[in-house]
């Protein structure tokens, strides 16, 4: 019991420190024309990310979100018995973060794995990638 609590405090401490360092070394945000920014802001409204503040995989993913300059909604899935945690488990299929929820009209996609989420967001919102495809 004590060991579990100490381990949790240690994990949260290290995670919190990582989040702080990540904040201090935030990547530069991409810049878009206002019209393109408005379109990106609108498109990201159909997405949200279930996450924990101090999870290293979530921190890594949030850095990409920051760089891409998109107002993605974050949902804290850490609170036991909390709404977001139970939605993630029931509708997503498991409690694992980060998880990107993509609502497409009638269907909802639950994208797990930080590397897959990062690749998806880059593909959808990185102007450099979009230009090279055009
Ligand atoms: N390979 C996954 C690892 C994700 C992972 O292990 N997340 C941990 C938190 S750091 C988790 O969700 N654990 C389940 C739990 O807390 O119940 C990724 O890259 O997204």
Contact criterion met (CB below 8 Å) for 46 and 102: yes
For the structural domain made of 2-133, what CATH number should be given? 3.40.30.10
Going from N- to C-terminal start, the domains of the chain cover 2-133
133: CB partners within 8 A, 6+ apart: none
Ligand 1 atom, smallest distance to 61 CA: 20
5-39 pLDDT per residue, tens: 898 888 889 889 999 999 999 999 999 999 999 99
Contact criterion met (CB below 8 Å) for 59 and 14: no
CB of 57 closer than 6 A to ligand 1?
A: yes
What integer is the mean pLDDT of 70-79? 98
42-67 pLDDT per residue, tens: 999 999 999 999 999 999 999 999 99
d(CA 16, CA 116): 24
CA of 105 to the centre of ligand 1 (A): 28
Ligand 1 atom, smallest distance to 78 CA: 16
Going by pLDDT thresholds of 50, 70 and 90, the confidence category of residue 1 is: confident
How many CB atoms are located within 10 Å of the residue 97 CB?
23
């Amino acid at each position: 019991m004590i060991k579990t609590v100490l381990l949790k405090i240690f994990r949260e401490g290290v995670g919190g420190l990582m989040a702080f360092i990540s904040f201090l070394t935030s990547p530069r945000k991409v810049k878009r024309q206002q019209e393109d920014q408005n379109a990106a802001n609108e498109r990201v409204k159909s997405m949200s990310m279930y996450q924990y503040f101090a999870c290293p995989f979530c921190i890594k993913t949030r850095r990409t979100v920051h760089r891409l300059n998109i107002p993605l909604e974050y949902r804290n899935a850490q609170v036991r018995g909390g709404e977001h945690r139970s939605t993630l488990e029931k509708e997503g299929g498991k409690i694992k973060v980060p998880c990107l929820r993509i609502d497409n009209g009638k269907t909802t996609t639950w994208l797990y794995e930080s590397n897959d989420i990062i690749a998806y967001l880059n593909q959808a919102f990185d102007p450099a990638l979009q230009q090279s495809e055009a």
